[in-house]
Structure 1
Amino acid sequence: MDAAWTGRTRTWLVLTLLIAAVMVLGHGLGGHTLQRLGQLVIAGSAVVLLLFCRTPYASSLVERPALLACGLVLLAGIVSSLSAHQPLWALTEVALIVASCCCAEAFARTRRLNGASLDRLLILFIVFICAFKSFDFLTLAFHWLFSGIRMLDPDEFLSGFSNKRFYGQFQTFTLPLLAFPLLLPATKGSTRIWSFSLLSLWWLIAVTGGTRGTWLGLGVAVGVLFFCGHIGRRWIAWQLSAVIVGGILYWLLFSVLTGYLDMEVSNVVSDRLTTSLSGRGPLWQQAWDMIRERPWLGFGPMHFADIHNPIAAHPHQAILQWASEWGIPSTLLVMGLVGRGLWATLRLIRERSTSHESTDLLRLCLFASLIGALTQSMVDGVIVMPYSQLWLSLVVGWLIGLHVWRREPAKPNAFIHWSWMGISSAAVLLLAYVAIRDVPHQDERNNLYQQQYGGHYQPRFWIQGVIAIKPE
C-alpha cells in the first residue's frame, strides 16, 4: 500500500508542478484569473488525494492543541461569514483558506512518503522555473536594448504576472531556496558556478522589479538566520554575494549599456528607494476603522473588498486584513499558530546548526523563505494573490513534511479525519461553483465595475476583486 501511494503522490506532485509552471511561464499565460483557476485545480486534486490516501502520517501532521486552534479559527470564520453582508463571498474566502490548508497537507504527506527524492524533484523544479524566467527576462531585455527605441522601461521585462509586485512575492519564496545547492558540501565546482549565476540573475530581476517588500522580507530573513549558526551565516554570505553581483549587472545593463546606446530609462530602481507607504496609509486606516467597529467577528472574510476605496480590495497587511475581516480572537489564534510553528522550526534549526545533511540545509532555506514571505505580508498581499497562496502552501507543507516531532504522533482519529475531508470537499465544490458562475461572465462583471466605480482593477479573488455593489 505504501509503495502504491508513494507512486500516486509523486504523480500528483508532478502534475501539480506542471500546472504551477503553466501559471507563470510565457507571455500572456500568467494572468490573475488563470492563476486562480490553476490554484483551484490543484486544490481539488489535493482533496481527492487526501480522500483516498491511507498512510500512518494522517494524524501526525498537526498536534492536538494546534488542531483545536485550527478548528476554532474555522468555526469563527463560518460564524463571521453567516453574519456578513454577502455570506456567499465570505464563505468563498473561508473555502479558499481550507483549500490552501489541504494543499499544504498534501505536500507534507507527499514529502513524508517520498523522502529526500522529492526534495531533489522540487529543487529541480524551482531551478527550472527560475532559469526559464531569467532567460525570458534577458531575452526581452536585449531585444528592447537593441530594438532602436530611445526610451526603455524595465517593467516590460517582468512577464507572467499582472503586477510586478506579485512577481516580487514569487521571488521572495524562491530566492532563499536557490541558495540550497550552494550550501551542499558535495556540490561540484561547475554546479556551484551555475547555481550562483542563477541566484545572481534572480537578484538582478528582483532589483529591476524594485519590490521593496521582497527586499524587506529577505532582509528580515538575513537577520533571523544570523542567529542560526554557521550554516545560517553561510546562507547569508551567498545571498549577499549574489545581491552584489545582481546590483552590478543592473548597473551594467541599465546605466552603462543604455548610456552607451544613448537610451533613456524609466522606472529606474532609484525612484523606488523611498520610505513612502505607496497608498497603504488609507487602506490601513480603513482596516483599523473596521476592527474598531466589529472587533469580535469582523465584517466577514473578504469583506474588506465590500467597502469600496479607490486604491485596493485588501489592506496590504496580513494582520490588519485578518482582524478586520475575521475578528481579533481569530487573529490571535492564527498568530499563535504561526508563532508556534516558527518557533518549533527555529529551535530545530539551531539544534542542528552544525549539520551538513541535505535535509537540515533545506529546512533552513525553507525557513528563510517562510520568514521572508510572512514579513512581506506585512506590507503586501502575499496571503491574497493566488500564486503566492500556492507557494505558501508548498513551503509550509514542505516544512511540515521535513519536521522532526519531539513526541510520538497521536493515534488516528477517524471522526476528525472524515470531518476534515467533508469540510475540504465542500470547500472545493463551493470554489468550483464560484468559478463556473463567474468565469464565463468576467467581461460583464469587469464592465459593470468600470461603470459603477471606474478606475483600475483591484485584485482579490479575481483580477477585479471588489465585491461591493453600488446602491442605485
Structure 2
Amino acid sequence: MVLSVPQRGNIFLVVVVCLLAVGICAPFSGHDLQRVMQIAIGLCAVLYGLSVAPAVSLVDRPTALGLTLIIGLGLVSSALAHQPVWALIEVALFVSCAAITLAFALLRRHGGESLDRVLILIVVLLCLIKSIQYLYAGALAFTSGERTLDPDLLLSGFSNKRFYGQFQTFTLPLLALPLLMPTVSRVWRGGVLALLCVWWLIAISGGTRGTWLGMSAAGLVLAVLGPVGRRWLGWQLAAVLGGLVLYWLAFTLLAQYLGFETTKDAGDRLTTTLSGREAIWWQAWHMLVEHPWLGFGPMHFADIANEIAAHPHQAILQWASEWGVPSALCVAVLAWRAGWATWGLLRRRMLCAARVDLLRLCLFAALVAALVQSMVDGVIVMPNSQVWLALVVGWLMALHVWQAPATAALPPAWFAWRVLSVLAVGLLVGVALRDVPHIKHAQQAYLSGEGRHLQPRFWAQGVIAR
C-alpha cells in the first residue's frame, strides 16, 4: 500500500511528538537521552524528506548559496581540526538540524492550516504535563517532613535547570496564541491563562536569567510591531504577575506558615554577574584571534579543557571560534535576512486576526527570545533546544508569504541535499550506536579523573579533549 503525502506527514508528526514527549516528560530524561531522541528525530526527518519532493523551492537562491558555503567551510575546518571526526560530527549535527527544519516546513505546507491547531495543542499538552509534574513534586516536598525547600528539586526531565529554561523560552510565546484568538471560548482562554501563569511560576522559580532576558527582548520587539504585538505583551505581563503571586503564595507565605526554609530563592538570581562566563568568553575570543578564518574546528571549544563548560555560552563567539569568522558572518547575514523578511511580513499583516498571522507572530517572538538567550546560554548546543529551534524556523518558513513568485525546486540540488542529509544522519546514528552502551562508564571515568562535573556538549560528558 502506497501512503499519500498527508499520511506520511501524519506518521512523521506522531513519531516526532512521541520522541519529544519521551525526551522532555520522562522523569529519567536528561541530556544524553535527549540527544538520542534528537538523532532519532533527524532520522525520521530525512526519511520523510526522501519520500516528499517539494514542487517549489523552500529557500531562495541566496539562502541556498549561504548554506552551501557554511557547510563547505565547516568541512574544510573539520579536515584541518585537531580531532576531525568530532568536528565532522558537529557538521553532521548542523545538517541534521537543517533536515529537521525542512521536514517541518514540508509538513506544514502539505498539511495546511489544520496543523497549526495541532502544533498549539502539542505545546499546550507538553506544558500541561510538565506543570503537573512540577505541582506534584511541590506537593510531595511540602508533605515530605523535610524543613528545607529547594525549588530546583521540583524541576524534572532536564539535566540542568537552564536547559529547562530554554524549553520554556520556546513555549512561553506560543502558549499565548489561544489568548489572542477572538474565537476561543472563555473557558478555554481561562484554562490557557492559568497554564501560562503556572508556566511563568516555573520560569521564575527556576531562575534562568536567559529566559527572562529573551522574553523581555521579545516583548519589546512585539510592542513595536503594533496592536496585536502589544496584546501579546499584555497577556504575558498578566501571566508574569500571576506567576509572581503564585511564587509568593507557595515559597514565601505557605513555606513560612509551615516552617520551611526556602533555599535558592529566585530573588537571589537578580544579579548582573556573568556566573563564570567571562572566562569561557575570553577563551573563545583567544581562539577566534588565533584562527580567524577557519576556526579551531567545529566542536573544538570542547577540545580545550577548562573547569567551567565545553561551550562558551555565546552563540556568535562559539561559531566564530570553531567554524571561523567568515562562516559566522554568513550565518549572521542569513539570520538577519530571514528575520527582516519575517518582520516586514508581520508589519504588513499586523491588523489581520487570522490564526496563521497570530501564529506567525508567536513563532517570531519565540525565535527572537531564543536568539537573545543564545547570547548568554547554550541554546544552539542543547539537543532539545536545537529541535525546537528547527521546529520554529521550519514552521515560519512554511508560513512565509513570498513577495516574488516562488521558483521551482531544482532536482539536482534536491538530490545533492538528500545525499548529504543521509550521510550526516548516518554518521550520527553510528556515533550513537558506538557511544551509548559506554556512556555511563565514560562519565564515571571522567568524574573520577580530572573532571569536577559533567560539561555537556554532544554528550553530557562533552569534553572531547579527554
TM-score scaled by structure 1? 0.97
Shift of 1:443: 2.4
> What is the SS of the residue equivalent to 1:23?
helix
Shift of 1:444: 2.8
Shift of 1:134: 0.6
**Separation in 1, partners of 2:55, 2:413:** 15
The question of 1:306 aligning with 2:303 is answered yes
User: Does structure 2 conserve the Cα–Cα contact (< 8 Å) formed by 1:23 and 1:38?
Assistant: yes
**Separation in 2, partners of 1:445, 1:90:** 20
- Give the corresponding residue for 1:403: 400
Distance 1:439 1:3, change over 3 A: closer
> What is the SS of the residue equivalent to 2:4?
helix
- Give the corresponding residue for 1:75: 72
- Give the corresponding residue for 2:18: 18
User: Does structure 1 conserve the Cα–Cα contact (< 8 Å) formed by 2:168 and 2:203?
Assistant: yes
Give the aligned residue type for 1:9.
G
> What is the SS of the residue equivalent to 2:331?
helix
The question of 1:107 aligning with 2:104 is answered yes
User: Does structure 2 conserve the Cα–Cα contact (< 8 Å) formed by 1:2 and 1:55?
Assistant: no
- Give the corresponding residue for 1:330: 327
Give the aligned residue type for 2:100.
C
Shift of 1:11: 1.6
Further displaced range: 433-442 or 170-179: 433-442
Count the aligned residue pairs: 466
User: Does structure 2 conserve the Cα–Cα contact (< 8 Å) formed by 1:181 and 1:187?
Assistant: yes
**Separation in 2, partners of 1:84, 1:440:** 27
Give the aligned residue type for 2:398.
G
Give the aligned residue type for 1:48.
L
Shift of 1:228: 1.1
**Separation in 2, partners of 1:403, 1:121:** 19
Give the aligned residue type for 2:360.
R
**Separation in 2, partners of 1:369, 1:179:** 11
Q: Residues 9-46 of structure 1, C-alpha deviation per residue, up to 9 Å, x if partnerless?
A: 12211110111011111311x21111000000110111
- Give the corresponding residue for 1:157: 154
Shift of 1:226: 0.8
**Separation in 1, partners of 2:156, 2:70:** 37
Give the aligned residue type for 1:403.
H
The question of 1:44 aligning with 2:43 is answered yes
- Give the corresponding residue for 2:32: 33
Q: Residues 382-403 of structure 1, C-alpha deviation per residue, up to 9 Å, x if partnerless?
A: 0000000000000000111111
User: Does structure 2 conserve the Cα–Cα contact (< 8 Å) formed by 1:229 and 1:350?
Assistant: yes
> What is the SS of the residue equivalent to 2:130?
helix
> What is the SS of the residue equivalent to 1:24?
helix
Further displaced range: 65-74 or 48-57: 48-57
The question of 1:252 aligning with 2:249 is answered yes
- Give the corresponding residue for 1:180: 177
The question of 1:385 aligning with 2:382 is answered yes
**Separation in 2, partners of 1:425, 1:188:** 45
- Give the corresponding residue for 2:366: 369
**Separation in 1, partners of 2:59, 2:408:** 12
Shift of 1:2: 12
Give the aligned residue type for 1:35.
Q
Give the aligned residue type for 1:336.
V
Identity, % of aligned positions: 54
Q: Residues 267-305 of structure 1, C-alpha deviation per residue, up to 9 Å, x if partnerless?
A: 110111100000100000000000000000000000000
Shift of 1:450: 2.6
Give the aligned residue type for 1:393.
A
- Give the corresponding residue for 1:434: 431
Q: Residues 342-398 of structure 1, C-alpha deviation per residue, up to 9 Å, x if partnerless?
A: 000011001011000000000000000000000000000000000000000000001
RMSD: 1.2
127, 131, 135: which one pairs with 1:134?
131
**Separation in 1, partners of 2:229, 2:128:** 25
**Separation in 1, partners of 2:2, 2:212:** 42
User: Does structure 1 conserve the Cα–Cα contact (< 8 Å) formed by 2:54 and 2:409?
Assistant: no
User: 1:144-223, aligned counterparts within 5 Å?
Assistant: 144-223=141-220
- Give the corresponding residue for 1:315: 312
User: 1:255-266, aligned counterparts within 5 Å?
Assistant: 255-266=252-263
**Separation in 2, partners of 1:383, 1:415:** 30
> What is the SS of the residue equivalent to 2:25?
coil
**Separation in 2, partners of 1:45, 1:152:** 42
**Separation in 1, partners of 2:3, 2:22:** 29
**Separation in 2, partners of 1:42, 1:102:** 10
Further displaced range: 433-442 or 366-375: 433-442
Give the aligned residue type for 1:127.
V
Shift of 1:146: 2.1
User: Does structure 2 conserve the Cα–Cα contact (< 8 Å) formed by 1:2 and 1:113?
Assistant: no
Give the aligned residue type for 1:8.
R
Give the aligned residue type for 2:53.
R
User: Does structure 2 conserve the Cα–Cα contact (< 8 Å) formed by 1:225 and 1:232?
Assistant: yes
- Give the corresponding residue for 1:425: 422
The question of 1:241 aligning with 2:238 is answered yes
Shift of 1:438: 0.8
> What is the SS of the residue equivalent to 1:315?
coil
- Give the corresponding residue for 1:468: 465
Shift of 1:448: 3.2
- Give the corresponding residue for 1:359: 356
**Separation in 2, partners of 1:448, 1:159:** 25
* Structure 1: runs of 5 or more not aligned: none
Shift of 1:195: 0.9
